[in-house]
């Protein structure tokens, strides 16, 4: 059994060692075997050694009882990240046919204390699957996200519940509230895209979402999240950045009004490169070439200097494409 760092914080002063409990006198504790010459001896607390020695003994005997269930609870207090503790707890729950809704109540309190612990979220998922009842999961994850809006485990669990049980109906309303509270909440933008991807990008949905994201960008221009969301939307159409003239006009209006956020300029670089190679034979083609080169230079020297090498690479790569096209055409 892989024991981790111990924590005695949740144990009161009146807590009694298992070694001194009469009801456990029939069990011979199994101490951890670190070998004859361990490289590093971990200084486990007395409580930690006591609890896990009895847990090892219980597991070795495959005892599945209410007292063993209580032992796993104490072990989880000491190390909530221990996989063996949770796996054996599940074995006991199944063997005793325990009330799993009580277990949901219990693991909710554990998650509230350990919201970034993979094992506790995994345990929660298994219990929900056994019950085939996700009715508490959106409220639970919302409560955790209220504490930390970018908790990866909470978002992962929420998406699992929504996708597995078809709980999409009100999710856009929830996500819109989160975005309204913090438009830089990348997790909320990701969740919005997750919902749309699974409910379908119809032409009507694309039009609605384009309007939505443009309105958000107008409020905060220098916000990476909606720009990434916009690119994701356009990939759901024909994949071209210039497929919607309203987007082209929107970005050019921002630029003409003096906005120089790197996210706008990066979008325009890709947009004008796309338009250049689409505009073969058109009179304004050279204008797109100049815009791509000027914007890359502007990014490298002024607006995104930390990635200057990247933008010079983009400009050079564009020039190579131009040369290849000229060679192909025999120019």
What is the Cα–Cα distance from 250 to 45, expressed in whole angstroms?
63
User: Is residue 223 pLDDT above 90, yes or no?
Assistant: yes
User: Is residue 4 pLDDT above 50, yes or no?
Assistant: no
pLDDT at 16: 93
Indicate whether 250 and 235 sit together in one domain: no
pLDDT at 2: 41
What is the Cα–Cα distance from 122 to 105, expressed in whole angstroms?
15
pLDDT at 33: 66
> What's the distance, CA 200 to chain centroid?
21
User: Is residue 233 pLDDT above 60, yes or no?
Assistant: yes
Indicate whether 282 and 226 sit together in one domain: no
User: Is residue 8 pLDDT above 80, yes or no?
Assistant: no
- Binned at pLDDT 50, 70 and 90, residue 330 comes out as low
Tell me the per-residue pLDDT of 146-191, one tens digit each, with 9 for 90 and over: 999 999 999 999 999 999 999 999 999 999 999 999 999 999 999 9
Percent of the chain whose pLDDT exceeds 70? 92
Residue 305 falls inside a structural domain: yes
User: Is residue 74 pLDDT above 70, yes or no?
Assistant: yes
Please give the residue range of the domain that contains residue 206: 168-239
pLDDT at 13: 66
Residue 1 falls inside a structural domain: no
pTM: 0.89
Residue 121 falls inside a structural domain: no
- Binned at pLDDT 50, 70 and 90, residue 309 comes out as very high
What is the Cα–Cα distance from 225 to 184, expressed in whole angstroms?
6
Indicate whether 233 and 298 sit together in one domain: no
Q: Which of 183, 211, 239 is the last residue of a domain?
A: 239
Indicate whether 323 and 252 sit together in one domain: yes
User: Is residue 39 pLDDT above 60, yes or no?
Assistant: no
Neighbours of 143 (CB within 10 A): 14
Residue 32 falls inside a structural domain: no
Residue 57 falls inside a structural domain: no
pLDDT at 289: 95
What does each C-alpha distance from 145 to 162, 168, 194, 308, 315 come to in angstroms?
A: 16, 18, 17, 37, 42
Indicate whether 289 and 309 sit together in one domain: yes
What is the Cα–Cα distance from 269 to 320, expressed in whole angstroms?
16
Q: Which is catalytic among the residues 31, 94, 116, 197?
A: 116
Indicate whether 285 and 225 sit together in one domain: no
Indicate whether 215 and 173 sit together in one domain: yes
Indicate whether 259 and 314 sit together in one domain: yes
Q: Worst-scoring range by mean pLDDT, 36-40, 130-134, 240-244, 252-256?
A: 36-40
User: Is residue 35 pLDDT above 60, yes or no?
Assistant: no
> What's the distance, CA 254 to chain centroid?
31
Catalytic residue check, 116 = yes
Tokens of 23: 């009801």
Q: What is the CATH number of the domain that holds 217?
A: 1.25.40
Residue 198 falls inside a structural domain: yes
CB 322 within 8 A of CB 289: yes
Q: Which of 178, 209, 239 is the last residue of a domain?
A: 239
Indicate whether 322 and 298 sit together in one domain: yes
- The burial class, CB within 10 Å (0-12 / 13-18 / 19+), for 241 is buried
User: Is residue 67 pLDDT above 60, yes or no?
Assistant: yes
Tokens of 8: 């005695």
- Binned at pLDDT 50, 70 and 90, residue 328 comes out as confident
Indicate whether 226 and 259 sit together in one domain: no
Indicate whether 234 and 309 sit together in one domain: no
Indicate whether 205 and 235 sit together in one domain: yes
Residue 191 falls inside a structural domain: yes
CB 276 within 8 A of CB 285: yes
Residue 105 falls inside a structural domain: no
Q: Which of 208, 239, 270 is the last residue of a domain?
A: 239
Domains in the chain, number: 2
pLDDT at 41: 53
Please give the mean pLDDT across all residues of the chain.
Answer: 92
Percent of the chain whose pLDDT exceeds 90? 84
User: Is residue 37 pLDDT above 70, yes or no?
Assistant: no
User: Is residue 6 pLDDT above 60, yes or no?
Assistant: no
């Amino acid at each position: 059994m892989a024991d981790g760092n111990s924590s005695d914080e949740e144990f009161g002063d009146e807590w009694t060692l298992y070694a001194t409990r009469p009801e456990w006198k029939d069990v011979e504790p199994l101490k951890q075997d670190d070998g004859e010459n361990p490289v590093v001896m971990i200084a486990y607390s007395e409580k930690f050694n006591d609890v896990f020695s009895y847990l090892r003994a219980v597991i070795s005997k495959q005892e599945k009882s209410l007292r063993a269930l209580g032992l796993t609870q104490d072990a989880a207090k000491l190390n909530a990240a221990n996989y063996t503790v949770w796996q054996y707890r599940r074995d006991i729950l199944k063997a005793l046919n325990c009330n799993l809704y009580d277990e949901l109540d219990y693991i909710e309190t554990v998650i509230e204390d350990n919201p970034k612990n993979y094992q506790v979220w995994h345990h929660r998922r298994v219990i929900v699957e056994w019950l085939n009842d996700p009715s508490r999961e959106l409220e639970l994850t919302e409560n955790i996200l209220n504490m930390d809006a970018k908790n990866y485990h909470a978002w992962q669990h929420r998406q699992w519940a929504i996708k597995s049980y078809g709980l999409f109906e009100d999710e856009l309303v929830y996500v819109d509230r989160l975005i309204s509270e913090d438009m830089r909440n990348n997790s909320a933008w990701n969740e919005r895209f997750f919902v749309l991807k699974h409910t379908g990008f119809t032409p009507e949905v694309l039009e609605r979402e384009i309007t939505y994201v443009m309105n958000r960008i107008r409020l905060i221009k220098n916000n990476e999240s909606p720009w990434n969301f916009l690119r994701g939307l356009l990939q759901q159409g024909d994949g071209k950045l210039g497929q919607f003239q309203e987007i082209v006009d929107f970005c050019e209006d921002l630029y003409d009004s003096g906005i120089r956020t790197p996210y706008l300029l990066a979008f325009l670089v890709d947009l004008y490169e796309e338009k250049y190679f689409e505009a073969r034979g058109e009179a304004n083609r050279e204008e797109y070439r100049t815009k791509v080169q000027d914007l890359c230079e502007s990014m490298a020297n002024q607006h995104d200097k930390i990635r200057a090498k990247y933008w010079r690479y983009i400009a050079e790569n564009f020039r190579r494409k131009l040369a290849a096209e000229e060679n192909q055409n025999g120019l």
